[in-house]
Chain A
Amino acid sequence: MSMTVQHGMLPLERRQAALRAALPWVLVALAAFVAPFLLSSGFGLSLLCRMGIAIVFALSFNMLLGQGGMLDFGHAVLLGFGGFAAMHAMRAAGAGLWIPAPLLPLFGAAGGLLAALLGGWVAARRHETAFAMITLGLAELASAAVLMFPSLFGGEEGITGDRSDGPALFGLGFGRQWNVYFLIATWAFGCSFLMWRYTATPLGRLANAVRDDDQRVSFLGYDPARVRFLVFLLSGLFAGIAGGLQALNDEIVTSTNVSSEASGAVLLMTFIGGVGTFWGPVLGAILVTFLQIALSTMTDAWQLYDGLLFLAAVVWAPGGLSGIILAHTPLLRAGRGAALVGPYAAQLPGLALALAGVVWLAELGFRLQAVRNGAPAGLLLGMTARPHEIWQWAIGVALLLAGATLLHRFWPRAKMAWQAQMAATIAA
């Protein structure tokens, strides 16, 4: 969101500024191109596809939350409607209509836009808590509606399609995941660039202004409700594209695509990545997608870990990852990073112990459920889990307490060290 092109510059400076602005995009494009060669397994490729979709979805979410101050608890509705629209188009292509697969996300965009028109018409009238509550209600209504009209949404089973049924464009078929990845990556790159470009337009700036003080905006001659509505539409458009890409990737769209879990997931990604920067949600989308897929194959408790991670971020790191990074870039640039290594490393034992305690307790809980259902308790960190024995719970509590005590004791030092280095950097 920071201004990348300054005013009152000479042409040469301006060209240099433009180059500096373009560099991250070139690097991102390179990374997106190279990634599938490094992660070429089926699992790796499908992970990359999900990341690409999640990036577009999270960026569209942050158009509302971080840039516009709108907390949308039902953002997955926009994604889901895009998905359903793209899926119907995919089926129409299968039935003989000339719709090549690469263009399916356009139908997703239309679906997302339509949903945003309906939802934005009511939600954009309000801001802050009332806006959030309206989106919460709209999300529930959409979930109910999806199940109420099986002829349109396929009921519980959802609707399925085959992306390779449609006509080929330039001889490109999309049976292979490899091709699907490059399709998703291209769309994701294009959408990200457009969303970035939007932040530097008058509407993008008005959205920031509405976020900071919506009443003041109205005294500057702009209707804040209209600003919110337009931003909501644009956000819906991009969320719809993400939904279209998801339909293309999964070849199935169900009511879970519009569910409150899906809405919660994008909130988690965006918040973990950081709402205060443009690129924060990108980081969050990559990290959380990876965590969710990795954790869900490893443990039944992954949703609990998700929730705890979110809660911890809200309390301790409201700026998310990008906030943490931004808090350190000036120090690192000034070469003061070394002074922080010690104080930060001192947090590791406490952090590790606390984390181990949380994981121990959560896993023990799930073993308890397994035992109750007649399954074997299995192993826990190499030991046989005995969830009915109190001492095993005591271990978890002890780990957690020990970690918390260490963090409580050593955290102020890290904070002071950071403050001291920051002060020194500013002074210099």
Chain B
Amino acid sequence: MSLTLAPILFNGLVFGLLLFMLSSGLTLIFGMMGVLNLSHASFYMLGAYLAYTISVGLGFWVGLVVAPVLVGLIGAVVQRYGLRAVHRYGHMAELLFTFALALVIGEVVPLIWGRNPVRYQVPHVLDFPLFQLGGTDIPAYRVFMMAVSLGMFVALFTALARTRLGLVVRAALTHPDMVSMLGHDVPRVFTSVFGAGCALAGLAGVIGGNAFTTQPGMAASLGGIVFAVVVMGGLGSIWGAFVASVLIGLLQTASISLDLPFGRLLGLPPAGSDGLLADLWSLTVARAAPAVPYLLLVLVLAFRPRGLFGSRNA
């Protein structure tokens, strides 16, 4: 067990950092505008598909730069011409708008790229095992993913700490009602932050799409986890999102590799061959794991709406 723990930890960390790329943007957007963007993971999917298309013609590296920018622009347009228009109908309308948008993107993507996974591949130069960890090969690409995530992490914090926009964003997070008094063009700031958040999600799609699979279901399967992350981290809290991302990343990766029935894991005798107890006994950890983030999402929202690390109420 101890030998295989190292690669699980490593892969969990890589996944966690990828989650943070999505959750940081989502939590920033919520913190500033009070809009929970239900289509956030769809922008992750768009990033992956656009990067795939670009990589076919121009190679992975062009896609790495261009795809996030494109996704960011699409996000900005969506905010400017969609979200801003429904804002006057209230938060519920904004929530519904992002929900409907996720539905539409989820149908447009298979329309353009098909219902089957596309062959979006890891670039050749990074397609080799870099080193071994606990007897498992660690692909160079995973290390690259980690480097990109950490680089983005540093860039984001520097931008928040050093730039004027970052200042406005931080002010807005702590005093949401005060932004308009800062003398800034608030709608423009909102559009920028929404676009930037989408671009980050797009970047996650670019580097995650080929490490996992680029297929139409990828938004739905990751979306729930990302919502759970930002809720656990405390909506609007960047640090909370970071801690929760890494935690959930580790938890997911570890539990998925545990293909053991609960009954055996707990050392219980088999509970017959039929019925609820038997179902529970033979339920594997790996099968139950995808439901865990949702359980956390529900429990945190119902009983600790500040999140585990945040300070503000949802």
Contact = CB atoms under 8 A, between A and B. Distances in A.
In their complex, do chains A and B touch, with some C-beta pair under 8 Å? Answer: yes
Interface of A: 69, 71, 73, 122-123, 125-126, 128-130, 132-134, 136-138, 140-141, 144-145, 148-152, 260, 264, 267, 271, 301, 303-304, 306-308, 310-311, 314-315, 318, 362, 365-366, 368-369, 372-373
Contacts of A133: 36, 227, 231, 297, 301, 314
A188 B174 CA distance: 50
Interface residues of B, number: 51
Contacts of B112: 365, 368
A314 B99 CA distance: 10
30 contacts: A123-B302, A125-B303, A126-B302, A126-B314, A129-B314, A130-B314, A133-B297, A134-B297, A134-B298, A134-B302, A137-B298, A141-B291, A148-B279, A149-B276, A151-B274, A264-B103, A267-B96, A301-B107, A306-B103, A307-B106, A310-B100, A310-B103, A311-B97, A311-B100, A311-B103, A314-B96, A315-B86, A366-B111, A369-B115, A373-B114
B103 A307 contact: yes
A366 B276 CA distance: 43
A318 to B, nearest CB: 5
A128 B228 CA distance: 17
A311 B95 contact: no
Nearest to B297: A137
A149 B279 contact: yes
A369 B111 contact: yes
A307 B111 contact: no
B295 A137 contact: yes
B184 interface: no
A126 B107 contact: no
B224 interface: yes
A129 B37 CA distance: 11
B100 A69 contact: no
Interface in B149-173: none
B107 A137 contact: no
Interface stretch (B45-53, B191-199, B282-290): B282-290
A144 B107 contact: no
A366 to B, nearest CB: 6
Given A144-B294, A149-B276, A372-B114, A303 B107 contact: yes
Nearest to B299: A122
B275 interface: yes
Given A151-B274, A315-B97, A140 B291 contact: yes
B104 interface: yes
Contacts of A141: 291, 294-295, 298
Given A73-B99, A311-B100, A138 B111 contact: no
Contacts of A151: 274-276, 278-279
A130 B96 contact: no
B82 interface: yes
A71 B298 contact: no
Given A125-B302, A134-B298, A369-B114, A318 B93 contact: yes
A151 B82 CA distance: 46
Contacts of A137: 224, 227-228, 294-295, 297-298, 301
Contacts of B86: 314-315, 318
Interface of B: 34, 36, 82, 85-86, 89, 91-93, 95-97, 99-101, 103-104, 106-108, 110-112, 114-115, 220, 224, 227-228, 231, 274-276, 278-280, 283, 287-288, 290-291, 294-295, 297-299, 301-303, 305, 314
| Chain A facing B: main interface SS | helix
B227 to A, nearest CB: 6
A366 B110 CA distance: 9
A271 B96 contact: yes
A123 B274 CA distance: 32
Contacts of B297: 133-134, 136-137
Contacts of A144: 288, 290-291, 294
Contacts of B114: 369, 372-373
Contacts of A69: 92
Contacts of A126: 301-302, 305, 314
Contacts of B89: 318
Please give me the 7 A-B residue pairs with the lowest Cβ-Cβ distance, nearest first: A365-B111, A307-B103, A304-B107, A144-B291, A137-B297, A122-B302, A137-B298
Contacts of A310: 100, 103
A134 B301 contact: yes
A148 B283 contact: yes
Contacts of B99: 73, 264, 267
Scoring B36, B86, B107, B227 by chain A CB atoms within 10 A of each residue's CB, the highest score goes to B107
A260 B102 CA distance: 13
A311 B104 contact: yes
B288 A148 contact: yes
Contacts of A260: 220
Given A260-B220, A315-B85, 10 more contacts: A122-B303, A133-B227, A134-B297, A137-B297, A140-B291, A141-B298, A144-B291, A151-B274, A304-B104, A314-B100
Contacts of A271: 96
Contacts of B283: 148
A140 B82 contact: no
A129 B227 contact: no
Contacts of B278: 151
B79 to A, nearest CB: 13
Given A137-B297, A307-B100, A314-B100, A132 B95 contact: yes
Scoring A125, A141, A366 by chain B CB atoms within 10 A of each residue's CB, the highest score goes to A141
A192 to B, nearest CB: 24
A138 B290 CA distance: 13
Contacts of A372: 114
Contacts of B290: 144
B291 A71 contact: no
Contacts of A152: 276, 279
A17 to B, nearest CB: 33
Nearest to B34: A129
Contacts of B299: 122
